[in-house]
Structure 1
């Protein structure tokens, strides 16, 4: 739904709960509430537990506002305005520690809500976002009064989008990102059951949250939700038992750690071909390029590795998204940034040759990376050769993709690694001879100049790498 006159449009990912809907209007994030949801909001905002969560930044900033021009305004009894998250990411773009911290925040909030008479309708990982490396709960419409004798309605979603991916990483050493990207609703219990047979069925968390969960789901497959709730109430299920269950899941999640995996990229900064002079010249060039012109609102560091240049970019930009393919590298970067209390750098796991597409209902419920980017500055350092040679992406398409991530007038800092560079030679050694006749400095510069206005260029002292600063559409 869009409104060209007012700039109003509905959030494509907000439609599953008919009691409330999120809209965007001229930079504001608004939520319309129906009569029942408006009453629950008033009770929630007056509760003892909720305002401290907002004050601590654990729940996104929210306030009631006078109804602006929201579609079907007669349907909404109240309208809320939320703080805007700097960059929306998806759980399959997070590292293990990021997903675990998001899960722990969700459980902490639920643990605070239950004694106050509230619960959450769902337990999806998509209810959380990030301010840098600080998780924040964004689905205020998910809070609802808890009813005695009823289980946590979000338990299944929590398992499928948070707990099960963590179990895959901790117990099997599997990267969970492809599993979450494949299905917006996460991993089903019956899939997990097949993976955790034999001795694996006794691993922490598996007997209760995989096998028992799957058995109960199959047992109640023909029963209605009302029937299940009645059975639980008759069995003596209470709010205290629900709280004890949440505490038990929280204890389990805290103990989960990823299995270490061998990775070339973990030691890349130590083993790559840069000399000390190259590195110093490169850092000066990047600093000068970012400092020229207005301060970027959003900067992307593509192929961020250990975050050296993302940290540099954070000195000159309001917010930096650091994208790296290796989940272990991103996990290390996240832990370092978390220890430093960094709130302006968001590390994400993503293969740049296979970036996050649109997903969910009609392919737009979860926006693609390209649709979310719209960056004011882009660092593409030591990444072009990996796409052009390593993944056989034609040079013109590499540059088209980079330009497509940028807002008009954005600054682009891109590094071209010459064919004679040790890293390029290593990649070329695995390819048929003569496969990349156009992979040459002069051709790259011609292609870049056709898409951007080149403002500076620098050959690094080693002589095998060239840096370019350019303005997109300039």
Structure 2
């Protein structure tokens, strides 16, 4: 990935051990002063703000350099569920309100400034903090907040537009892009009335009148601080009106409603996974097709940091909400990602935001692929050899994968009568595809004929030179 370059106040470079931020004058003195405040210490301690260590003090010849710890796994807002989006927005506004009370404010407010540690959002851009001018009662980042936080969630909740579309919209949405699609009643109800309809009406009046330079009114400091506080509180109320409505979906209650598993078979499967992970004790686990998060929690209980992927946004959102109140809130990161169409690299030179595969490659020492391979094979039409190769790219050590035989009711359901096309998908073909990459450590056949394989990645020694 490239060093960040969009903020003239400094750059950020990710390295294997940490993130290194260079801060240029005159912003360095302001940032150092903020980091020394009791508020900054409290935010770091509670996990709301990334910690910062000065490794190079500023001098006339060299800039300030800060060291930040690496977040366990970097995610982007186009991979978040609506609940995660809302949590990130609330944290942004909460920190902004706290900053205002001690003479600071956020100079920019975008989802790109937030990462997640498990289900807990954390502000990672310390350069977004700046001294506030309380005599100017305008939060200049409020427009950016509305465009990048509020309007995408409004479009998702009211119009069904996917949050994943934000991957192509770095600066979010403009009111006119959404306003023409909203039903009349929605336009005049909050938050659309304040964020879309009224701005469009005012914009029309400005266009019909003479052009004038925008003015920043000056007020006394106490009044300015009060107005800024009301602005932030108002945005929080508007965001809360977009609290996602959770409802059952195809995979959101999969574990509880699955008819192809008896209670005994489900218990047998959980026992096998728990026993393997308890013995191996991996540190970083990727759960592909996490559904309700049952096996993600088993992995977290073994002491691992877990990234839980699912293609069902509702399942991810329900899992996020449940985990937020669980002992594993900081251990499991649920993401809305389809492994058959993983997040691509985007940004300048495709190097500002890394692809999911680049972030995942050799990052995890264990991968779970439970009840997912038949979907990749039959729905996404990914060849067995490709699935095996990707699993080997992602894990540095272990894999538990569930083979679903062609006689299985779920296999038949996804097959949709295409028996002749997929007649080659046998257990023998499955084992042959994984054999170049993995050795089988142990396996168990459930009473429903599904087979759980614990595999270990093979160590491929380089061939000796002649």
When the two structures are superposed, what TM-score results if normalisation uses the length of structure 2? 0.89
Distance 2:170 2:380 in 1: 27
Comparing 302-311 with 94-103, which one deviates more in the overlay? 94-103
1:162-215 alpha-carbon deviations (Å, 9 max, x no partner): 11122123334x253232123233223221122225222112111221233455
2: CA distance, partners of 1:103 / 1:75? 38
> 5 Å matches for 1:160-171?
160-171=147-158
The yes-or-no answer on 1:454 pairing with 2:443 is no
Residue of structure 1 equivalent to 2:332: 345
Other structure's SS at 2:26 match: helix
Residue in structure 2 matching 1:233, options 208, 217, 220: 217
Alignment of 1:340-379 (within 5 A): 340-342=326-328, 343-373=330-360, 374-379=363-368
How many angstroms does 1:26 deviate by? Answer: 4.7
CA drift of 1:33 comes to: 0.8
1:158 is aligned, of 112, 137, 145, to 145
Aligned to 1:34: 24
Q: Secondary structure at the match of 1:265?
A: coil
User: Where does residue 17 of structure 1 map in the other structure?
Assistant: 7
The equivalent of 2:288 in structure 1 is 302
- In structure 1, how many angstroms separate the alpha carbons of the residues matched to 2:46 and 2:249? 37
Worse overlay, 315-324 or 17-26: 17-26
Match of 1:6 in 2: none
Give the conservation status (yes or no) of the 8 Å contact 2:139–2:231. no
Contact preservation (8 Å) 1:34, 1:75: no
Return the match for 1:52 from 17, 22, 42.
42
Q: Deviations over 1:425-467 (max 9, x none)?
A: 11112x534111221111001111122122222221222x111
Q: What residue in structure 2 maps to residue 283 of structure 1?
A: 270
Q: What do the CA deviations read for 1:123-143 (whole angstroms, capped 9, x no partner)?
A: 110111112111111100111
Q: Summarize the Cα distance change of 1:462–1:44 in structure 2 as closer, same or farther, 3 Å threshold.
A: same
Q: 1:363 to 1:188 in 2, by over 3 A?
A: farther
Q: How does 1:73-152 map to 2 (within 5 A)?
A: 76-147=62-133, 148-149=135-136, 151-152=138-139
1:334 lines up with 2:320 in the alignment? yes
Any idea what the Cα deviations from partners look like across 1:73-128, whole Å, max 9, x if unmatched?
98752111112211111112111111111111100011111232211121110111
Counterpart selection for 2:400 from 413, 434, 447: 413
Moved over 4 A (4+): 73-76, 214-221, 234-237
1:394 aligns with 2:378: no
Alpha carbons of structure 1 residues 235 and 118: separation in structure 2 relative to 1, 3 Å: closer
Q: Compared with structure 1, are the counterparts of its residues 411 and 139 closer, same or farther at alpha carbon in structure 2 (3 Å cutoff)?
A: same
Matched residue SS, 1:247: helix
The residue number in structure 2 matching 1:209 is 195
The number of residues matched between the two structures is: 450
Structure 2 unaligned regions, length at least 5: 460-466
Partner SS, residue 216 of structure 2: helix
**1:184 touches 1:359 (CA, 8 Å); kept in 2?**
no
Cα 1:289–1:48 change in 2 (3 A) is closer
- Asked if structure 1 preserves the Cα contact closer than 8 Å seen for 2:3 and 2:13, the reply is no
Q: Report the TM-score when normalising by structure 1.
A: 0.88
Task: Assess, with a 3 A threshold, how the Cα gap between structure 1 residues 186 and 250 changes in structure 2: closer, same or farther.
Answer: same
TM-aligned CA deviation for residue 219 of structure 1 = 7.5
